[in-house]
Structure 1
Amino acid sequence: MKQLTFLVVLVLGVVFSTVASKPGKEKEVKIKTSAVCDMCKERIEKNLTLSKGVSEAVLNLDDKVVTIKYNPKKTDEAALRKVITDTGYDADSQMCNKTAHDKLPECCQKGNEAHGHH
């Protein structure tokens, strides 16, 4: 039991020291996407984490919101939304890049009626 308590304290210490060591350097933004499955999640997270200035991108499929941690000196929210739309997904109110969306596997495409497909 003592070991477990020590581990929890150790983990919390690491988390807090990591946050404390970057005052105001890193920003976090939450962007609503049109992701539908694990493949979407992987694709969006991968493209965002490969983007300049992004340290972390985690998409929650329950609410389709991706939480992105980034360096505001290297990128901004508009650029991050563009990565998502260029990947083929909506980013908040911005519509996806239609060409990129149409190249996605069929299961990853959002409701076809939104793009006028029949």
Structure 2
Amino acid sequence: MKTIKNKHMKTIQLFLFASLFTLVSNTSFAQTQKTEKFKVSGNCGMCKKTIEKAAKDAGASYASWNKDLKELTVKYQSKSTDVSKIQQKVADAGYDNAGAKASDKAYENLPGCCQYDREAKKSTAKK
């Protein structure tokens, strides 16, 4: 009888340990995942595909660009990337955004339908 009790106790202890480990793992994961939204210029479905791919290439686990709002929502693990890296990768793909401006060359390489109206460069010359 004593042996059976010990076996059950060990099984219960193992179950509790596994449950605790799972709870701690899930809590740690949730604490490092971040969600950000920021403005990204663009026009069409091709823009959407390119912007979302660039964000994922920069480490986002989720990326969705809203064409009407010109807003990109990303989810990412803060241990592996950050919003500035994602913004830079999107700019490298040719799209100005809240955190980084695309180079003229990257913008000019976009297909014609994707070339959105850019803000005029601010002049530093005094009048």
- Which of residues 69, 72, 81 in structure 1 aligns to 2:75? 69
**Alignment match, 1:80:** 86
Runs of 4 or more consecutive aligned structure 1 residues displaced over 3 Å after TM superposition: 19-22, 112-115
Matches for 1:41-60 after TM superposition, within 5 Å? 41-52=48-59, 54-60=60-66
Q: Distance in 2 between matches of 1:69 and 1:31?
A: 12
- Which of residues 28, 34, 45 in structure 1 aligns to 2:35? 28
Q: CA RMSD in A?
A: 2.1
**Alignment match, 1:99:** 105
Q: 1:38 to 1:22 in 2, by over 3 A?
A: same
Q: 1:51 to 1:21 in 2, by over 3 A?
A: same
Q: 1:93 to 1:75 in 2, by over 3 A?
A: closer
**Which shifted more, 97-106 or 87-96?**
87-96
* Structure 1 residue 49: Cα displacement: 1.4
The structure that has the greater radius of gyration is 2
Q: 1:21 to 1:114 in 2, by over 3 A?
A: same
Superposition TM-score, scaled by structure 1 size: 0.72
How much identity, in percent, do the aligned residues show?
36
* Structure 1 residue 25: Cα displacement: 1.8
